[in-house]
């Protein structure tokens, strides 16, 4: 006997056609949703790309600059204090509580600290006051660090210090500035921060801002 295939009923055939059409539409919709998700992710990436934070310092890929904030610089300089310097057996200078200031016009950073000067030749309590130190900035490629450079005394105020000792006090302040802050690192780059897009970059010009600093980076 020869068997014959029984055709699908018309309504069942239409149902199958409808299911297949629905699957095609659903597949297309899913593809569109996936495309939209990818596009949204791409736009988000572009929005976030200009400012990338790596080890605190923010890097702007459009300007090619790292930016360090006041808080980051204060944290670095805070680690240097308190400290006490002794000059022979007669004089000691204790420094504490640094406060940071920025001078964009001179492209320098100011560090003001509380100071106590004890001189065994002067009877009584240590002389208390403030010492303000101004520093330039430079980059050291060996240390991969931004350093305070060439610090100088801006102001020395000690309560009760006779005016006759002003010159000696300024000289002592200059020595203190060199010992405490000269070549002191305020930010150290990690090796991965000096590579971008598979290429090596190196810091260049350093600019003091009203509330931080920025470091230009360029390809080698």
Confidence of residue 122 (pLDDT cuts 50, 70, 90): low
With 50 as the cut, is the pLDDT of residue 188 above it? yes
Helix, strand and coil content of the chain, in percent to the nearest 5, comes to 30, 45, 25
Tell me if 100 sits within 8 A of 109, measured CB to CB.
Answer: yes
Strand, coil or helix: what is 8?
coil
Helix (H) or strand (E) holding 40: helix 10-48
Residue 56: pLDDT band by 50, 70, 90 thresholds?
A: low
Q: Does residue 11 lie within any of the structural domains? A: no
Is residue 16 included in any domain, yes or no? no
Q: Is residue 217 part of a domain?
A: no
Domain containing residue 135: CATH number? 3.15.10.40
| Banded pLDDT at 220 (limits 50, 70, 90) | confident
pLDDT at residue 29 is higher than 90: no
Whether residue 216 lies inside any domain: the answer is: no
What's the gap between Cα 163 and its chain centre? 42
**Residue 60 has what pLDDT?**
79
- Asked which of 8-12, 71-75, 111-115, 156-160 is least confident by mean pLDDT, the reply is 8-12
Report the distance separating Cα 187 and Cα 14, nearest Å: 73
Domain presence at residue 33: no
Answer yes or no: is 154 within a domain.
yes
Q: Does residue 9 form part of some domain?
A: no
Q: Does 192 fall in a domain? A: yes
Q: Sign of dihedral through CA atoms 31, 33, 39, 45? A: negative
Total number of domains in the chain: 1
pLDDT at 12: 36
- Measure the N-to-C terminal CA separation of the chain; round to a whole number of Å: 87
Mean pLDDT of 53-82: 86
pLDDT mean over 91-118: 97
């Amino acid at each position: 006997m020869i068997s014959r295939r029984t055709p699908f009923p018309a309504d069942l055939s239409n149902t199958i056609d409808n299911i297949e059409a629905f699957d095609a539409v659903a597949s297309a919709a899913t593809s569109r949703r996936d495309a939209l998700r990818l596009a949204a992710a791409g736009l988000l990436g572009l929005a976030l790309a200009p400012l990338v934070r790596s080890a605190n310092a923010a890097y702007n890929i459009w300007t090619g600059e790292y930016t360090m904030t006041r808080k980051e610089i204060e944290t670095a300089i805070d680690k240097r204090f308190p400290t006490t310097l002794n000059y022979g057996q007669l004089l000691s200078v204790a420094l504490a509580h640094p406060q940071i200031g920025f001078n964009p016009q001179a492209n320098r950073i100011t560090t003001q600290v509380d100071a106590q000067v004890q001189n065994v030749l002067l009877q009584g309590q240590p002389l208390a006051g403030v010492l303000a130190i101004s520093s330039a900035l430079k980059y050291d490629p060996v240390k991969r660090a931004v350093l305070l450079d060439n610090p100088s005394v801006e102001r020395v105020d000690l309560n009760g210090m006779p005016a006759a000792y002003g010159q000696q006090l300024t000289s002592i302040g200059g020595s203190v500035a060199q010992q405490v802050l000269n070549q002191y690192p305020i930010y150290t780059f990690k090796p991965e921060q000096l590579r971008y897009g598979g290429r090596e970059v190196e810091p260049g010009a350093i600019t003091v801002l009203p509330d931080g600093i920025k470091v230009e980076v360029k390809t080698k």
